[in-house]
């Protein structure tokens, strides 16, 4: 991050990193404040889930990654909404091949902070 990076962008980048770490750790308490009540997630398994469903699947271990490396490629703000696009690689079981994905996260300003209101992730072919 440079000195010319807007404060809101630095905050979104920080939250994105925190959420990746919390997701891998299956830390529901850390994720909950960043998930809007009406969050919709279009998963790479071709299902649309509510945010509460995602947290439940994560808590029960149905969604479980041993690691995730995310790279933000583009961030754009539209008023109180921020769109983040990038790529990530997740490893589900240790020692297995990473799964490459493209993702879009949509954040909305809320009570002085940010909440994710939509997410789309899709598998891509290995290089």
Q: Can you give the pTM of this predicted structure?
A: 0.92
Has residue 14 got a pLDDT over 80?
Answer: yes
Residue with tokens 């809320």: 110
Q: What is the pLDDT of residues 38-92, one digit of tens each?
A: 999 999 889 999 999 999 999 999 999 999 999 999 999 999 999 999 999 999 9
> Could you give all domains of the chain from N- to C-terminal order, each with its CATH number?
7-123 (3.10.450.50)
Q: Compute and round to an integer the Cα radius of gyration of the chain.
A: 14
Q: How far apart are CA 43 and CA 54, in angstroms?
A: 9
**Cα of 20 vs its chain's centroid, Å:** 6
């Amino acid at each position: 991050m440079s000195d010319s990076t807007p404060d809101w962008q630095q905050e979104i980048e920080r939250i994105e990193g925190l959420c990746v770490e919390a997701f891998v750790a299956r830390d529901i308490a850390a994720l909950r404040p960043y998930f809007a009540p009406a969050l919709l997630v279009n998963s790479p398994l071709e299902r649309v889930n509510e945010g509460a469903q995602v947290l439940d699947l994560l808590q029960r271990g149905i969604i479980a990654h041993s690691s995730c490396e995310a790279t933000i490629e583009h961030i754009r703000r539209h008023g109180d909404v921020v769109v983040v696009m990038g790529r990530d690689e997740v490893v589900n079981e240790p020692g297995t091949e990473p799964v490459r994905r493209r993702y879009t996260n949509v954040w909305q300003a809320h009570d002085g902070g940010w909440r994710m209101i939509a997410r789309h992730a899709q598998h891509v072919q290995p290089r």
